């Protein structure tokens, strides 16, 4: 198995009969997570609200989340 630097907990109804089937499931999960965990998906699902405006601009959202904490009166709003 290729180490993807992530912890996954896999719960399966039927016990896997082979290590190869388990690896196939993990690789499929990794492919799904790669598509979901990108900046484009994050920016499509969030808006940045500042004191005076709400923006959906990708660069502003990425710049805002680049720091550990958001600035005062900056809020990430989930569109989901």
Whether 34 shows a pLDDT value over 60: the answer reads yes
Radius of gyration of the chain (CA): 18
Tens of pLDDT, residue by residue over 10-32, are: 777 777 678 888 888 888 888 88
Percent of the chain predicted with pLDDT > 70? 94
Whether 7 shows a pLDDT value over 70: the answer reads yes
pLDDT for residue 44: 92
pLDDT for residue 3: 56
Q: How far apart are CA 64 and CA 45, in angstroms?
A: 15
Query: Quick check: pTM over 0.75?
Result: no
Is residue 21 within 8 Å of 47, Cβ to Cβ?
Answer: no
């Amino acid at each position: 198995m290729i180490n993807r630097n992530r912890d996954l907990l896999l719960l399966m109804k039927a016990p896997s009969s082979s290590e190869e089937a388990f690896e196939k499931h993990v690789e499929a999960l990794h492919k799904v997570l790669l598509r979901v965990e990108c900046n484009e998906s994050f920016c499509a699902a969030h808006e940045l609200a500042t004191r005076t405006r709400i923006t959906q601009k990708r660069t502003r959202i990425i710049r805002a989340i680049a720091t550990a904490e958001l600035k005062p009166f900056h809020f990430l709003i989930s569109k989901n």
